[in-house]
């Protein structure tokens, strides 16, 4: 009964800022037709990672604005503005904000601590301190895009971007807000890379931001918005695992519940959160196999190309909308895109056991 | 939409472990703000905080914040009497900011001196805010939807609103929700850098207030769908009848001067609960004791409720500002004020600020019966949350 009262949720805007894609949904679509691995460079830690060139970001944020913003906030704002502009949504009519991040602004946090360690209390920066709180990206982006409804920052390993989109979709579907800017962001920091090495996370690392504008379909259509895709079901659960660990259990209701909300029996294709973190990727494969069994469908995963970061999950939702529109599933071992049909499942399974499933369909 | 009842309470506060100790301290108007011991305050103008005197929550190998969270969550679950099956499907929403940063700081401080700190891998693993939820879910076998919200000082209140939404939407029947933060070097140093700390215990709503005092703690509640709670014969403390979440979109650290976002959060909560301002008898204020914030909050309350009539008090005068835990600790206090028909006082309030046109319950608790009470929480980034509780 409750499901029938929920509103349909559509995607009306996409913004991406990473080493391979910068722009709105046309830029993402162009890359998805021939997805090439983004170049890797030293980024601290044991392995090269996918870094966004500084010149790219500098071209997206006005210097006078950039001086007041941490780099990770600049990433968030740049991607958010792309999404809001493509959507054409009027923030004054009520725009929420959900930001997923795994690491927040560690660069500023380290700089703040270093100030004290170098000079004692006199070395502390009052300007840096607010950035040590993980909602700093949401705070600055809310100001930049005039988002004045609910604002959430969601922290979870590996699946922060997917979870932010799922949570935002629930807020729109439940009627709490008509439109939400939702996505994920992370940046690379050398010390963080060193720490992740120590924790055994050996996936391909990246950085960037991807944000989507999600709207109630009735509201979007009433204002004549272009519909890029539909989120017809979303659910999140948790799997038993130690903090930052990989679990053994494979049974979870997230996929079934998302499919049920979408009124679907099985996905026609999948986007997985696999990114080269071998134990976690293997666990994800087992969980998906247990949930879908014979209903297993062709799968893509973009983490190895773009490097894992919290924006990736949101990017895969946007990519799934592109696949639903075009019928093309990219990144099939370097070959041409595969023709697919039906709905898509964007799947995320994180270290620590966060589990997210989002069903995406064409308009 | 289903009604959402509070059926379990748990708190670890500067008054000690347990909800009883917490309420006893609040009702007595005791001030738990004392010399700081968890981190070295040498060289700082402020050297006090409200620390938790004894930490339960199991192994000392866990972060201090994880142990605070475990102590409160275990109490809430036991209080609600949830069985294993119910726990397996229960949602978990945690409001957090500092995570296990206290231990990670020890590692980083040692690293900066070229030393090797023992246990560093464990401290890194538990450093992020999400670590508390992973620890709680793993230890307490909570298998439903799980997420960690970071909205600065309103995180704990947001956690309750998020969990209530999952129940109201029919995703789960019950949820464990709350906030936690331990004192950390970064937090203590940061608020010193912002010059927002009073060297003496804070005095919310006092004309001569000079800033806040930091604190630490955790509070968790069990929220349950009304039909589910009644079916199993659970005791209900109160109904979480409404909540409002808004954003100022004004400044990263300063609230919007007219309190527009704060007032909007209160109005949204009233509308969600279907009550009028006249139905509310008590506001558990955010009440940080900074000159600016108290004045703006009072202005916002007056916009919504009118000046004068309400009882308004701040728990922070007794337990300090417990950061991500503040919203949930103050929610528990608000619930207990309904059940005990007593409003906890604003300690240290000697000379009421003439710009705060409310009875702020100076120093001594007040007997008062009312049907509805609200708890305000506001965070950096203009993140405003109001929770509205109704007597069960």
Smallest Cβ–Cβ distance between B148 and the set A117, A154, A241 belongs to A154
pTM for the whole thing?
0.97
- CA-based nearest residue in chain B for residue A140: B252
- The CA distance from A151 to the nearest CA of chain B, in Å, is 6
Long-range contacts of A34-42 (CB under 8 A, 24+ apart): A35/A302, A35/A305, A35/A330, A35/A331, A36/A305, A37/A304, A37/A305, A38/A206, A38/A305, A38/A306, A38/A307, A40/A204, A40/A307
Of the candidates A349, A161, A159, the one whose C-alpha atom is nearest the C-alpha of residue A241 is A349
- CA-based nearest residue in chain A for residue B91: A237
Judged by CB atoms closer than 8 Å, whether chains meet at A353 and B137 is answered as yes
Question: Can you tell me the distance from the alpha carbon of A204 to that of A278, in angstroms, rounded to the nearest whole number?
Answer: 10
Token reading at B325: 């835990």
Interface check for B377 against chain A (CB to CB < 8 A): the answer is no
- The DSSP annotation for A2-64 comes to TGGGSPPEEEEEEEEEESS-EESHHHHHHHHHS--PPP-B--SSSS-BBPPPHHHHHTTS-HH
Q: Which of A134, A149, A197, A252 to mutate to test the interface with B (most CBs of B within 10 A)?
A: A134
How many other C-beta atoms lie within 10 A of the C-beta of residue A197?
15
Give me the helices (H) in A204-252, please.
217-222
As a whole number, mean pLDDT of residues B282-301 equals: 97
Question: Do the beta carbons of residue B350 and residue B245 sit within 8 Å?
Answer: no
Q: Which of A135, A164, A245, A252 to mutate to test the interface with B (most CBs of B within 10 A)?
A: A135
- The CA distance from B341 to the nearest CA of chain A, in Å, is 32
- CA-based nearest residue in chain A for residue B194: A126
- List, for residues B107-122, the tens digit of each pLDDT value: 999 989 998 877 777 7
Judged by CB atoms closer than 8 Å, whether chains meet at B131 and A243 is answered as yes
Smallest Cβ–Cβ distance between A199 and the set B125, B146, B382 belongs to B125
Question: Can you tell me the distance from the alpha carbon of A329 to that of A321, in angstroms, rounded to the nearest whole number?
Answer: 11
| A-chain residues near B259 (CB < 8 A) | none
pLDDT score recorded for residue B203: 98
pLDDT score recorded for residue A332: 61
Put simply, the chain B residues between 195 and 224 with a CB less than 8 A from any chain A CB are 195
Q: What amino acid positions of B are annotated as catalytic residues? A: 153, 286, 321
Judged by CB atoms closer than 8 Å, whether chains meet at B145 and A176 is answered as no
As a whole number, mean pLDDT of residues B308-320 equals: 96
pLDDT beyond 60 at B301: yes
- Block means of pLDDT (10 residues each) for chain A, 363 residues, are 67 98 98 92 86 94 94 98 98 96 96 97 96 97 97 97 98 96 96 84 92 98 98 95 91 94 96 94 96 93 95 98 97 79 97 96 94
| Complex ipTM value | 0.96
- The DSSP annotation for B139-164 comes to HHT--S-EEEE-BTBTHHHHHHHHHH
Judged by CB atoms closer than 8 Å, whether chains meet at A243 and B134 is answered as yes
- CA-based nearest residue in chain B for residue A352: B134
| B-chain residues near A171 (CB < 8 A) | 165
Percentage of residues in chain B with pLDDT exceeding 90? Answer: 93
Question: Can you tell me the distance from the alpha carbon of B339 to that of B331, in angstroms, rounded to the nearest whole number?
Answer: 13
Judged by CB atoms closer than 8 Å, whether chains meet at B143 and A237 is answered as yes
Question: Can you tell me the distance from the alpha carbon of B355 to that of B335, in angstroms, rounded to the nearest whole number?
Answer: 28
pLDDT score recorded for residue B240: 98
What Å distances lie between residue A332 and A27, A153, A269, A305, CA to CA?
A: 20, 33, 12, 12
pLDDT beyond 70 at B50: yes
- The CA distance from A334 to the nearest CA of chain B, in Å, is 35
| A-chain residues near B146 (CB < 8 A) | 156, 236-238, 353-354
Judged by CB atoms closer than 8 Å, whether chains meet at B380 and A133 is answered as yes
As a whole number, mean pLDDT of residues B293-309 equals: 95
Question: Can you tell me the distance from the alpha carbon of B231 to that of B245, in angstroms, rounded to the nearest whole number?
Answer: 31
The domain locations on chain B are 1-378
Smallest Cβ–Cβ distance between A129 and the set B43, B194, B261 belongs to B194
Judged by CB atoms closer than 8 Å, whether chains meet at B142 and A238 is answered as yes
Convert B130-152 to b/e letters by CB count within 10 Å (16 or more is b).
bbbbbbbbbbbebbbbbbbbbbb
Within 8 A by CB and 6+ apart from A281, the residues are A203, A272, A274, A275
How does the average pLDDT of chain B come out, rounded? 96
pLDDT score recorded for residue A1: 28
- List, for residues B355-364, the tens digit of each pLDDT value: 999 999 999 9
- The DSSP annotation for A55-116 comes to HHHHTTS-HHHHTTS-HHHHHHHHHHHHHHHHHT--GGGTEEEEEEESS-SHHHHHHHHHHH
Complete domains list, chain A, with CATH: 3-222 (3.40.47.10), 231-361 (3.40.47.10)
Give me the helices (H) in A184-253, please.
190-198, 217-222
Judged by CB atoms closer than 8 Å, whether chains meet at B245 and A125 is answered as no
Of the candidates A21, A10, A31, the one whose C-alpha atom is nearest the C-alpha of residue A89 is A10
- The CA distance from A32 to the nearest CA of chain B, in Å, is 30
Smallest Cβ–Cβ distance between A156 and the set B108, B121, B130 belongs to B130
pLDDT score recorded for residue B326: 98
Judged by CB atoms closer than 8 Å, whether chains meet at A174 and B250 is answered as no
Return the DSSP state at B115.
P
3-state secondary structure of B390: strand
pLDDT score recorded for residue A333: 64
Fold of B1-378: Peroxisomal Thiolase; Chain A, domain 1 (3.40.47)
Interface check for B366 against chain A (CB to CB < 8 A): the answer is no
β-bridge mates for residue A101, sequence order? A155
State the greatest distance between any 2 C-alpha atoms of chain A, in Å, as a whole number. Answer: 64
Judged by CB atoms closer than 8 Å, whether chains meet at A121 and B192 is answered as yes
């Amino acid at each position: 009964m409750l499901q029938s009262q929920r509103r349909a949720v559509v995607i009306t805007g996409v913004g991406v800022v990473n080493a391979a894609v910068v722009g709105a949904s046309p830029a993402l679509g162009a890359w998805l037709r021939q997805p090439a691995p983004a170049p890797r460079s030293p980024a601290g830690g044991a392995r090269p990672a996918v870094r966004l060139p500084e010149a790219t970001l500098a071209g997206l944020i006005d210097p006078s604005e950039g001086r007041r913003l941490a780099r990770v906030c600049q990433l968030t704002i740049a991607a958010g503005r792309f999404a809001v502009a493509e959507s054409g949504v009027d923030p004054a009519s009520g725009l929420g904000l959900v930001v997923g991040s795994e690491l927040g602004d560690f660069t500023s946090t380290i700089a703040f601590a270093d100030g004290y360690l170098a000079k004692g209390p006199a070395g502390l920066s009052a300007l840096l301190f607010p950035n040590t709180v993980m909602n700093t990206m949401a705070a600055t982006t809310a100001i930049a895009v005039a988002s004045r409804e609910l604002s959430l920052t969601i922290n979870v390993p590996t699946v922060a971007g997917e979870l932010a989109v799922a949570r935002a979709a629930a807020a729109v579907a439940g009627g709490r807000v008509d439109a939400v800017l939702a996505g994920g962001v992370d940046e690379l920091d050398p010390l963080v890379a060193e720490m992740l090495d120590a924790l055994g996370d050996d996936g391909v690392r990246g950085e960037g931001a991807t944000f989507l504008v999600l709207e109630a379909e009735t509201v979007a259509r009433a204002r004549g918005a272009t519909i890029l895709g539909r989120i017809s079901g979303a659910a999140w659960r948790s799997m038993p695992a130690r903090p930052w660990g990989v679990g053994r259990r494979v049974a979870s209701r997230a996929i079934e519940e998302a499919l049920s909300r979408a009124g679907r029996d099985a996905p026609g294709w999948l986007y997985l959160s696999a990114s080269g973190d071998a134990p976690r990727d293997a666990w994800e494969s087992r969980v998906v196999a247990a949930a879908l069994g014979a209903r297993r469908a062709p799968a893509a995963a973009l983490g190895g190309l773009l490097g894992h970061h919290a924006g990736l999950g949101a990017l895969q939702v946007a990519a799934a909308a592109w696949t639903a529109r075009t019928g093309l599933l990219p990144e099939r071992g370097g070959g041409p895109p595969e023709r697919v049909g039906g709905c898509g499942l964007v799947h995320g399974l994180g270290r620590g056991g966060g589990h997210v499933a989002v069903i995406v369909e064409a308009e | 939409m289903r009604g959402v009842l509070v059926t379990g309470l748990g708190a670890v506060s500067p008054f000690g472990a347990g909800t009883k100790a917490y309420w006893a301290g609040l009702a007595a108007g005791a001030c738990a703000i004392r010399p700081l011991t968890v981190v070295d305050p040498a060289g700082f103008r402020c050297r006090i905080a409200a620390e938790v005197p004894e930490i339960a929550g199991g192994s000392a190998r866990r972060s201090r914040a994880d142990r605070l969270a475990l102590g409160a969550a275990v109490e809430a679950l036991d209080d609600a009497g949830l069985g294993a099956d119910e726990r397996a499907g229960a949602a978990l929403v945690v409001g957090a900011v500092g995570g296990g940063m206290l231990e990670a700081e020890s590692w980083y401080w040692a690293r900066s001196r070229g030393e090797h700190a023992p246990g560093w891998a464990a401290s890194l693993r538990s450093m992020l805010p999400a670590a508390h939820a992973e620890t709680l879910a793993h230890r307490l076998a909570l298998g439903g939807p799980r997420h960690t919200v970071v909205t600065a000082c309103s995180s704990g209140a947001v956690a309750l609103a998020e969990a209530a939404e999952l129940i109201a939407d029919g995703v789960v029947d019950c949820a464990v929700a709350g906030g936690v933060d331990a004192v950390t070097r970064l937090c203590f140093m940061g608020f010193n850098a912002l010059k927002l700390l009073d060297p003496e215990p804070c005095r919310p709503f006092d004309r001569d207030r000079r800033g806040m005092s930091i604190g630490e703690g955790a509070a968790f509640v069990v929220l349950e769908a009304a039909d589910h709670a009644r079916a199993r014969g659970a005791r209900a403390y109160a109904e979480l009848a409404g909540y409002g979440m808004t954003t100022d979109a004004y400044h990263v650290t300063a609230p919007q001067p007219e309190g527009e976002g704060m007032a909007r959060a209160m109005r949204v909560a009233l509308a969600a609960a279907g009550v009028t301002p006249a139905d509310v008898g008590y506001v558990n204020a955010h009440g940080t004791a900074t000159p600016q914030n108290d004045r703006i909050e009072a202005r916002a309350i007056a916009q919504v409720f009118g000046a004068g009539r309400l009882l308004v008090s701040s728990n922070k005068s007794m337990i300090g500002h417990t950061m991500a835990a503040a919203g949930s600790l103050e929610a528990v206090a608000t619930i207990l004020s309904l059940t005990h028909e007593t409003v906890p006082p604003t300690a240290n309030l000697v000379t009421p600020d003439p710009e705060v046109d409310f009875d702020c319950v100076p120093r001594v608790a007040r007997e008062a019966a009312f049907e509805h009470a609200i708890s305000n929480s506001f965070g950096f980034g203009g993140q405003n949350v109001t929770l509205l509780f109704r007597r069960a």
